[in-house]
């Protein structure tokens, strides 16, 4: 193959869109030609750069509430929703009213005997929580739409409060990890779930093809992340992380390269390798150590 031809096909080669025959020829040319292999390395580096792109955009929790307001069957909306017109408002209001009512009931039914005072509690310390602990807080925002149903409110018997030292509670919390470690932790978790699902896939004895469209798309995304995170780990001399990501990468490549409807033997091969190499255990171990050490 001539360099001009190779150069024209390079982007499609990178994109994995070449026909098998062309792919082989370009691959063979890249081994032999220094110039073309340098161009390909530059293209790959460029791709890695774009893989680092983080829009820093999240799906806001209220978005589903707004969508649900347009997609929920109006007949099923609560009387409060029809009264106020806005589902989210009605739901939130219903929860609030119920919480207040239960709070009042609780306060009225509270025994008059004073709570036993603990030695560590300052008698004059104001109660930071004006509502009794027995009433659970309303559902989190993302679940507001579910508040058409009756909110689950559990009344617990009053319990003497103790003052405990919580200074170390957040020491291993995700919030204290740096951004790279959070990204890696999330990446490892998602990869582990993906590989476990491959490990657990049921393959029938017939030659029926397996739809792996979703797994493949997920693997492509994880593969891109993996390349970036592995390089970052290497640059920051985090060798155990780098080694783990390097071990993970071949699995992601293999899953990403499966056709949408994969042959059972192809899936079986990956599944067996996942089982044999114990990569899932290594990923789980990383997650456990991460929770304790980082």
Give the binding site for other proteins (CB under 8 A).
Answer: 7, 10-12, 15, 17, 38-39, 42-43, 45-47, 49-50, 52-60, 63-64, 66-68, 70-73, 145, 179, 193-194, 196-198, 200-204, 208-215, 217-218, 220-221, 224, 267
Q: Minimum distance from CB of 103 to other proteins (Å)?
A: 30
Residues 6+ apart with CB under 8 A from 93: 80, 84
Least distance in angstroms from the C-beta of 149 to other proteins: 12
- Paired tokens of 85: 């017109």
Q: At closest approach, how far in Å is the CB of 150 from other proteins? A: 17
Q: Nearer Cβ to other proteins, position 70 or 154?
A: 70
Token pair of 132 as six digits: 């009794």
CA–CA distance, 214 with 84 (Å, rounded to integer) = 40
**152/66 Cα distance (integer angstroms):** 23
Q: 56 vs 165, which CB is nearer to other proteins?
A: 56
Rounded to whole angstroms, the Cα distance separating 166 from 207 reads 57
Q: Which is nearer to other proteins, 83 or 203 (CB)?
A: 203
Based on DSSP, count helices (H) and strands (E) in the chain, helices before strands. 11, 2
Asked if residues 133 and 156 have their Cβ atoms less than 8 Å apart, the reply is: yes
C-alpha atoms less than 13 angstroms from C-alpha of 123 in its C-beta half-sphere: 3
Supply the minimum distance, in Å, between the C-beta of residue 66 and other proteins.
5
Nearer to other proteins, 102 or 233 (CB): 233
The beta strands (E) that lie in the chain are given as 210-211, 261-262
Please identify, using beta-carbon distances, which residue of 169 and 237 lies nearer to other proteins: 237
Least Å distance between CB 144 and other proteins? 12
């Amino acid at each position: 193959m001539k360099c001009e031809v190779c150069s024209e096909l390079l982007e499609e080669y990178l994109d994995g869109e070449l026909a098998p025959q062309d792919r082989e020829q370009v691959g063979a040319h890249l081994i032999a030609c220094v110039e073309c292999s340098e161009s390909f390395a530059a293209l790959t580096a460029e791709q890695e750069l774009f893989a680092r792109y983080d829009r820093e955009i999240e799906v806001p929790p209220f978005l589903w509430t707004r969508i649900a307001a347009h997609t929920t069957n109006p007949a099923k909306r609560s009387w409060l929703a029809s009264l106020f017109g806005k589902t989210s408002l009605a739901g939130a209001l219903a929860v609030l009213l119920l919480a207040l009512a239960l709070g009042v009931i609780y306060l009225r039914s509270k025994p008059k005997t004073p709570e036993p005072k603990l030695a560590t509690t300052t008698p004059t310390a104001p109660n930071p929580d004006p509502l009794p602990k027995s009433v659970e807080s309303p559902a989190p925002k993302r679940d507001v739409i579910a508040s058409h149903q009756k909110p689950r409110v559990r009344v617990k018997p009053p319990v003497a409060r103790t003052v405990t030292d919580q200074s170390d509670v957040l020491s291993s919390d995700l919030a204290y990890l740096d951004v790279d470690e959070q990204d890696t932790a999330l990446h490892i978790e998602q990869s582990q779930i993906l590989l476990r699902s491959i490990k657990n896939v049921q393959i029938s004895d017939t030659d029926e093809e397996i739809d792996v469209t979703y797994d493949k798309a997920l693997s492509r995304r994880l593969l891109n992340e993996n390349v970036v995170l592995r390089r970052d780990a290497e640059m920051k001399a985090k060798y155990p992380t780098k080694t783990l990501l390097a071990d993970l990468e071949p699995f992601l490549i293999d899953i990403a390269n499966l056709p949408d409807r994969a042959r059972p033997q192809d899936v079986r091969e990956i599944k067996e390798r996942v089982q044999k190499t114990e990569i899932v255990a290594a990923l789980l171990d990383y997650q456990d150590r991460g929770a304790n050490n980082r």
